[in-house]
Chains A and B, each alone.
Chain A
Amino acid sequence: MLTALASFALAALIAPTLTRWLGTRVFLLLALVPLGALAHAVWHAPTVLSGTAVVESYEWIPQLHLALNVRMDALSWIMCLVVLGVGALVLIYCTRYFSNDEPALGRFAGHFIAFAGTMYGLVVADDVFLLFMFWEATTIFSYLLIGHYTDRKSSRGAALQALLVTTAGGLAMLVGLVLLAVEAGTTSLAAILAEPQSGALVTTSVILILVGALSKSALVPFHFWLPAAMAAPTPVSAYLHAAAMVKAGIYLIAAMSPAFASTPGWRELLVCVGVLTMLVGGWRALRQQDLKLLLAYGTVSQLGFLTVIVGFGTRDAALAGIALLIAHALYKSTLFLVVGIIDHRTGTRDLRKLSGLGRASPALAIASTLAIASMIGLPPMFGFVAKEAVFTALLESETAIGMVGLIGVVAGSTLTVAYSARFLWGAFARKPAVTAVALHKEPADFLAAPALLSLAGLAFGIVAPTVGYWISGYSENFPAADGRDDYHLALWHGIEPALALSALTLVLGIVLFWKRSAVTSFQKRVPAVINSADGYWKVMRFIDRTAARVTSSTQRGSLPFYLGVILLVFVVAVGTTLVLNAQWPSDLVVWDYPAQLAIAIIMAVAALAAVRASKRFTAVVLVGVTGYGMAVLFALQGAPDLAFTQVLIETVALVAFVLVLRRLPQRIGVAHPRRRRSGLRIGLGVGVGLTMAFVAMISLGSRAHDPISRILADIAYEGGHGTNVVNVTLVDIRGWDTMGELSVIIVAATGVASMVFLDRRTDDLPRPQQLLGRRGFLLRQKPVTEPARPRGRQQSDDSAETRLSWLLAGRTLAPENRSILLEVTVRLLFHSFIVVSLFVLFNGHNGAGGGFAAGLLAGMALVARYLAGGRYELGAAVTIDAGKLLGTGLLLAVGTALVPLFFGANALTSTWAEGDVPLFGQVEFVTSTIFDVGVYLVVIGLVLDVLRSLGGEVDRQQEDEDPATPNEGLDERTRV
């Protein structure tokens, strides 16, 4: 069976390709797959019918007890025959139904054969979740097949509707299956059924499963999707929506019935829903003009009929139910296929336009008549046998619910007779008022499939006892009735009540048909009782509206709102835990020394003022104050390194801000929040602050252990060979963090470049003209000169009197932008800064400093060069691309981490060497210093990137926009 399933899958995959080669003949080839599976089923018939199930199993996900377990018992076997037999015939029918130029034929063929496979899988699956998989897969293929005519809006809508309705039921069923499987401790359907559990949970889960079954089998209130699904090509209607898929629900009910029919609510639910569906379907079928829709409502009605009897849950009812299921599959697919032929031959399915078809194509009429005869229960058709059995089974139950069912199905059968007659009359009769339709010629073998199916209905009727024997393998799962022999299927049971009921339905039905005009006018006066299709749209609209409303109220597109929600959650959630807190610290140290309080107040005031500031620059400076305050706190706490670094960071940040601010309006555009709103914000801000303060108080107050930092200083000296514990922590003990933070810096630098240059990382800084031509070391050492007098007067004086420049690119600035004082200062300080930064870098391991601070110092030197000499000066100062600096820095850092791995040590393990170096004396070198050099380079790279983007590039953009600015294009002008 698993092999058969695999062949279906394979066939589905190659079907599109095959179709390209074979055209419609591909269906003949594809039909071999279900035929093969059918042969397998027939081969195993003796085993299965003798009561032994054929089992195959393949382990899949043992943790979920999910296995590819398939099992063919009597019920599955019968379903296989139906699914595979009808499937093969419909495939053969497709050969003639479609023409080679049908669009998307390959896709159709693939979907159809895949559907047949999943349907087969559904009926043989033993694992309930495997069953569910096939169940949902049939839904998906049904979606794709109903929507086959993608250019028709109705097709698409119907497909979506069918998908959603059956999936909704399917998910209810999944929940039910999960609950049931967990309760039973197994996922095997056979095992669950063998030892049925009971209890409220089981009842709930069974009801949930039934919801799935009812939605799949199009029962009230889910029935509306089935008529809409008639938008599909007719073979699909015949197979999915008559013989196979809609039977899945019935199959599941039948499978569970032996074990769960006694579950409270089971019988009542199914009988009532079934009767209601049967009546609603039949009633609506009576007024359809489209033959296919008539059949569709007829199918709904019949599915209700099946539900009543299959769900009834006695031995005789089970026998009758399965017999009816077989009969229905045979006659209903015949009729659909016939409608397809009619549609092809006449171009219409409207029974008001058809006339004289019966005489023109007698074979078609005979096949239809046989099927109709079976449907309305005329002997010797199998439908008659089945209907007799149903009536008898309900009659003998002698319960109230049995009576409800009986009356319901008798009434329903009457309607069935009426609409069946209407079908026959509508399709084939000669109507005096209607001109006979013109007929297209169709090949004779088009009729093969429906003819075979209708003849099968006849044959089964004749060999009814044999069919009864097949079914008995299933029905005997039910307890035998007391004091009565089991019912058996036969054409003739003698004169008994069931026969009378059959006759009654026939007579009443014919009367209904005869008085059809009266019925029609009556129907027009009675509003549709149950119009679930409207219900569907109402539900969908409700979902859409709710979704739109919920989303627009939460998804405001407003950052302040989002932040407000987040902070509110913080205050409320953490606040609640604070209220619940049982352990408030007893001794509170308010401050270590009073200066802390003073600084805290300054910082707080600055922070508050920053929020209220109306000018950008003021705000930036005020934020800077909080930063410097932090530095002071660090210093007071005895952390000079941190304080030093903090000061440098604040300074560089301030410079960066100022560079950016040049391009921004001076004032912050405040959208004056309403007072209430602003009060809310103040409240929230205070709330966050207080919450955080209390958390800090409590958490620090509950410390029970010494922090690990107590020991860090010792191990830094012993293991890291450094007396500066901060530095050793940064580059060694927690060097891994630092390595990560380096990448953060690099990305930040890249981000700044990306925002300014937009699409490139590398952008060489411009270099002064004078330097560009110089190649070779010696030439580069030649001093740079500039005209002694300001540029403006140069043109009148060609003597070209020059003097040495203080800065390499000083002359590229307009005279009014230059400050000779600044140039001289920078000229004097730059190299000292660099040297100091190198000292700080190498001193860091034991004294104050380190790569970070050193990098910032060197960066400050670059800032000075840029401020004094502009972007050309910066270009002259650093001839290397910032990206390369960053990359090299990272490479050094990661390299330091990587190399020890080659020596079998852990990443980042440091080692050290000592020695006498001339001039320096005793020198100790720790490998983590290399790491620190990496840090140094990365920080310089960052500053450089900030300067060249926010400084140089923004200068250039500004000059582009405003040519009046004198710095612009000076090089070009001097060249003239």
Chain B
Amino acid sequence: MNALIPLVVMLPLLGAAAALIAGKRQRLQVIVTVIALVAVLAVSVVLLVEVDAVGPLIMEVGGWPAPFGIVLVVDRLSALMLVVSAVVLLAVLLFSVGQGMADGDSETPVSIYHPTYMVLAAGVFNAFIAGDLFNLYVGFEILLVASYVLITMGGTGPRIRAGVTYIVVSLISSMLFLASIAMIYGALGTVNMAQISVRMTEIDPSVQLILHVMLLIAFGIKAAVFPLSFWLPDSYPTAPAPVTAVFAGLLTKVGVYAIMRTETVLFAESDVNDALMVVAFLTMIVGILGAVAQADIKRLLSFTLISHIGYMIFGIAMGTVAGLGATIYYIVHHITVQTTLFLAAGLVERQAGSTSINRIGGLLKASPVIAVLFFVPALNLGGIPPFSGFIGKLGLFTAGAQQPSWLVYALIGAGALTSLLTLYALARVWNMAFWRPADEVEKYESPLLEELTEAPGENTDREMKNSPRLMIGVTAAMVVVSVALTVFAGPLYALSSRAGENLNGPENYVRLVFPEGVE
């Protein structure tokens, strides 16, 4: 069973290699990459079932014993993240295949998009199974470099501009991460996460705090927490629709995942929870205010993305099993729903030629299907019961109420406010883009629209196009998945809670990698 672990990285890389070798044969590239991701999905599901039933798995790559070689670790959290990412990556790949079949090669050129996308997938998967801090860095590096290529694909002016912001900020974060690793190695002489966990407790707490804060800043940029989040809305929305969808769904969550491991494994004894709570509070509020101020749906969604990262940080900052369990469920929910909404926004853009609610209308009449595909995840993101957004929030609030403090109460309040404002922003989109008849759009006056800002850059309307069945089908499938998070909330939440229990205390992790202990 251990042999399955490295496959989640190797299969996409093989897919990438095959796609490169296939060269000009685009159909073959498409088939190969889809097969690779389906295989990863299958492997991840098997891993999840196995890990949940039997226990966590590790692989010492190359047979080199930890801490000398690289160790890959799959516990419940990792396995769950693998499954969700595989689902999302596969869905978005199919979506872009549909788009490519309809529009030709302009938005997601096969020979560039497919290999790069596979590498991105490999990076994401690698980050989730890394048991070695430097390997985690490599995972980040893989997915980041791939994302640099994807975000600038097509090379249009706005994309290059967005790409520069994105790349430079990401490089800074990578540098900080790398420097942190160097400092940690300097202090502890190891990069194996389990061993770091053990040795970290032996150095002075104030030194722990320095390293801790430094690493958190590096991850905070990737996870887009306030005030390290400003780059995100300026870069994500300009990319091609499927790229934005997968970035928004997955990449920030890899940062959140890393923060989770940081708090529970690497620096289990160093407590910065109160600071994290403050950060979570600001992330939620400032993020959602950003969403309220946007006219452009994709940009609006980017702000909700940041804002809801705040929920996850809140959960992590509680540090309890209940808080971690709720956070894990929330991450699963948010990956799915945020991706789905961006896919739906992609459909809106095709249907209406724009994503600015100042310029579009009548979509309910024009395409009831797209309307449903937008409405359901929008409610979900707005935390309307019975959808998973509500369940996750309920879990977080409940976990908070179980360890009351003024800070926690403030966060619960902020969480409720964020939820309301998310609903406001999305319902306004619904009112304007879907309900409002198309012929009212010109010279429309409403106090609801007065303070909105458009996305920067030129806002010319795109050509209106029908969406092929595959794109609609994939989006619909994602909506079904997001609803399934509610229907199967029982087992899923139970699984998240068990995953949260695994994170309770670093001993679990250490024992897994070093059954006989380590110093």
Contacts and interface: CB of A to CB of B under 8 A. Distances in A.
Interface of A: 59-64, 66, 129, 132-133, 136-137, 140, 143, 147, 150-151, 153, 156-157, 159-160, 163-164, 167-168, 171-172, 174-175, 178-179, 181-183, 201, 537, 540-541, 543-548, 550-552, 554-557, 559, 561-563, 565-567, 569-570, 573-574, 577-578, 580-583, 692, 695-696, 698-700, 702-709, 711-712, 715, 719, 732-737, 739-741, 743-744, 746-748, 750-751, 753-755, 758-762, 881, 883-884, 886-888, 890-891, 894, 897-898, 901, 904-910
B180 to A, nearest CB: 9
Nearest to A735: B62
B226 to A, nearest CB: 8
Interface SS of chain B = helix
B408 to A, nearest CB: 11
Nearest to B115: A750
A887 B19 contact: yes
A566 B222 CA distance: 12
A740 B138 contact: yes
Contacts of B9: 739-740
Contacts of A734: 69-70, 134-135
A891 B14 contact: yes
A746 B20 contact: yes
A555 B224 CA distance: 13
Contacts of B512: none
11 contacts: A554-B230, A573-B213, A708-B190, A744-B142, A748-B149, A758-B109, A759-B112, A887-B21, A894-B10, A898-B10, A909-B62
A556 B230 contact: yes
B62 A705 contact: no
A874 B293 CA distance: 53
B119 A547 contact: no
Nearest to A178: B397
B489 A61 contact: yes
Contacts of A897: 6, 10, 61
Given A150-B435, A151-B437, A544-B450, A762 B186 contact: no
A901 B145 CA distance: 28
A737 B134 contact: yes
Contacts of B519: 705
Given A175-B413, A544-B451, A550-B289, A736 B142 contact: no
B114 to A, nearest CB: 9
B217 A573 contact: yes
A170 B405 CA distance: 23
Given A708-B189, A759-B109, A740 B230 contact: no
Interface stretch (B163-171, B259-267, B459-467): B163-171
Contacts of B154: 758-759
A64 B21 contact: no
Contact of B59 (A547, A566, A904, A906): A906
B13 A894 contact: yes
A696 B214 CA distance: 12
Interface in B478-499: 489-490, 493-494, 497
Contact of B202 (A156, A698, A704, A888): A704
B69 A733 contact: yes
Given A163-B423, A737-B70, A759-B154, A905 B20 contact: no
Given A61-B391, A905-B63, A906-B60, 12 more contacts: A63-B497, A156-B436, A178-B412, A551-B453, A577-B206, A707-B189, A734-B135, A736-B61, A737-B70, A755-B155, A760-B112, A890-B16
Contact of A711 (B68, B155, B227): B68
Nearest to A719: B64
A236 B286 CA distance: 38
A171 B419 CA distance: 8
A561 B5 CA distance: 42
B276 to A, nearest CB: 12
B494 to A, nearest CB: 6
B20 A890 contact: yes
Residue of B69, B139, B221, B413 with most chain A CB atoms under a 10 A cut-off: B69
A924 to B, nearest CB: 18
Contacts of A910: 62
B135 to A, nearest CB: 6
A551 B289 contact: yes
Interface string B343-364: 0000000000000000000001
A702 B207 contact: yes
Given A695-B183, A906-B59, A883 B23 contact: yes
B494 A699 contact: no
A751 B145 contact: yes
Contacts of B417: 171
A395 to B, nearest CB: 41
B228 A760 contact: no
B441 interface: no
B209 interface: yes
Interface in B220-252: 221, 227-228, 230-231, 233-234
A163 B427 contact: yes
Contacts of A582: 204, 206
Interface string B184-228: 111111101000000100111011011101100100010000011
Nearest to A560: B168
Contacts of B72: 736
B421 interface: yes
B397 A537 contact: no
Contact of B176 (A156, A570, A894, A905): A570
Nearest to A576: B213
A541 B123 contact: no
B369 interface: no
Interface string B82-112: 0000000000000000000000011001011
A735 B62 CA distance: 8
Interface in B316-349: 322, 325
A164 B427 contact: yes
A699 B142 contact: no
Given A554-B230, A570-B217, A909-B63, A63 B190 contact: no
B145 A574 contact: no
Contact of A555 (B139, B290, B435): B290
A577 B209 contact: yes
Contact of B153 (A136, A172, A754): A754
A179 B112 contact: no
Contacts of B79: none
B206 A580 contact: yes
A555 B112 contact: no
B379 interface: yes
B176 A63 contact: no
A894 B14 CA distance: 7
B477 interface: no
A567 B218 CA distance: 11
Interface string B399-420: 0011010000000110011011
A17 to B, nearest CB: 13
A740 B423 contact: no
A890 B116 CA distance: 13
Residue of B59, B189, B230, B519 with most chain A CB atoms under a 10 A cut-off: B230
Contacts of A743: 13, 16, 119, 122-123, 142, 146
B128 to A, nearest CB: 13
A171 B398 contact: no
Residue of A59, A741, A744 with most chain B CB atoms under a 10 A cut-off: A744
Contacts of A557: 234, 456
Contact of A153 (B21, B139, B202, B446): B446
Contact of A907 (B59, B303, B322, B423): B59
A171 B416 contact: yes
B210 A581 contact: yes
Given A543-B421, A759-B109, A884 B23 contact: yes
Contacts of A904: 3
B62 A150 contact: no
Interface in B125-178: 126, 134-135, 138-139, 141-142, 145-146, 148-149, 152-155, 164-165, 168-169, 172-173, 176
Contacts of B428: 160
